[in-house]
């Protein structure tokens, strides 16, 4: 699909993006504002106490980043005007009912106007606390789907799966062990939390215990870490309750820096395979076991987001 048709499609669209200050989301937002300033509205959901805090966080963690340099140079003082016109910041939290949106007028506006939802909110820490990862990656996916169902003009929910396995349906596991049940998992983590609090465990002790529990539960069913386990359960939930809503789960491989746009080489922090390059460059990693004939499956963040937009266009046009 040609870039021009994708850009044309985005004109006058109302898009809700969750996890708005995350690595994937901020590049997605920058790309849309740069190539299609005639998008009707970008509703950007991010964790914040109120609108003022949301604005401050979005500025510090997105707009002020070097990522937006090309857009700043292109628009100059008009960048703030473009953002004011095209971007609506939504203080919220995907772990909460109705995504934690407290403003009823804004909530009604989104249900009335949004036609595409892009769920990029997640915790990507492999050894995250089980309770945190379960709430974000599993129950958060469910909450985004339920919110999307309330959008009168919804054309598509695009969910970033970020796991490499084939689709898994409710109760399926990687190693064939039976008994995986989301209600049971929720009960197990809640009971363990209650035990720790009853024992007056410190915050550090609770964190370590919940991290250990996540790894334990993941490996019981064949997943290597808490991240992919909770993401897989999130997909199971989506498949079970999606009903008639158009849903696409996109699973990019190892996502790296920008390739060409807005300029080559931008990445935030040390991510995924980056740690190998940094370790080798600093002389800390002198040997790494592997098959020299194997293919490392990596993809630029630019190609990842082009895939996002192509999926949106194809899915909506197919629905027509």
Please check whether residue 38 is in contact with residue 2, taking contact to mean a CB–CB distance below 8 angstroms.
no
Pair of tokens at residue 252 = 């990019």
**Other CB atoms within 10 Å distance of the CB of residue 178:** 9
Calpha distance 20→6 (Å, rounded): 21
Given the residues 31, 155, 211, 231, the one annotated as active site: 231
Q: Does the annotation count 231 as an active-site position?
A: yes
Q: Does the annotation count 168 as an active-site position?
A: no
Please state whether the peptide bond connecting residue 262 to the residue before it is cis, i.e. omega within 30 degrees of 0.
yes
Q: Any idea which residue has 């190693």 for tokens?
A: 175
Strands (E), the chain: 14-18, 41-46, 87-91, 116-119, 156-160, 247-250, 254-256, 298-300
Residue of 262, 260, 259 whose CA lies nearest to 75: 262
Determine the 3-state secondary structure of 164 from DSSP: coil
| 278 Cβ contact list (under 8 Å, min separation 6) | 270
| 189 Cβ contact list (under 8 Å, min separation 6) | 130, 131, 134, 210, 213
Calpha distance 292→312 (Å, rounded): 37
64, 145, 153, 194 from 34: Cα distances, Å: 15, 28, 25, 49
Given the residues 65, 227, 260, 280, the one annotated as active site: 227
Indicate which residues carry an active-site annotation.
227, 231
């Amino acid at each position: 699909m040609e870039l021009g048709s994708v850009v044309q499609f985005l004109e006058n669209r109302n898009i809700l993006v969750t996890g708005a200050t995350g690595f994937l989301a901020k590049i997605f937002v920058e790309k849309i504002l740069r190539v299609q300033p005639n998008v009707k509205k970008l509703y950007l959901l991010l964790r914040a106490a109120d609108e003022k805090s949301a604005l401050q966080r979005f500025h510090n963690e997105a707009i002020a980043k070097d990522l937006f340099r090309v857009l700043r140079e292109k628009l100059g003082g008009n960048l703030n005007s473009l953002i004011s016109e095209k971007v609506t910041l939504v203080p919220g939290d995907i772990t909460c009912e109705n995504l934690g949106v407290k403003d009823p007028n804004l909530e009604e506006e989104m249900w009335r106007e949004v036609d595409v939802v892009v769920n990029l909110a997640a915790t990507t820490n492999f050894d995250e606390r089980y309770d945190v990862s379960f709430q974000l990656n599993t129950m958060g996916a469910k909450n985004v789907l339920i919110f999307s169902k309330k959008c009168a003009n919804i054309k598509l929910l695009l969910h970033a799966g970020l796991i490499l396995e084939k689709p898994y349906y409710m109760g399926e596991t990687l190693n064939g062990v039976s008994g995986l049940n989301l209600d049971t998992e929720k009960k197990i983590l809640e009971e363990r939390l209650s035990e720790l609090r009853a024992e007056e465990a410190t915050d550090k002790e609770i964190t370590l215990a919940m991290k250990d529990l996540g790894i334990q539960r993941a490996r019981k069913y064949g997943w290597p870490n808490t991240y992919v386990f909770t993401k897989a359960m999130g997909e199971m939930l989506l498949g079970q309750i999606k009903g008639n809503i158009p849903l696409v789960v996109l699973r990019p491989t190892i996502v790296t820096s920008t390739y060409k746009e807005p300029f080559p080489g931008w990445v935030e922090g040390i991510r995924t395979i980056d740690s190998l390059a940094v370790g080798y460059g600093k002389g800390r990693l002198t040997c790494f076991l592997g098959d020299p004939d194997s293919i490392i499956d990596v993809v630029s963040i630019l190609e990842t987001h082009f895939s996002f937009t192509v999926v949106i266009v194809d899915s909506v046009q197919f629905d027509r």
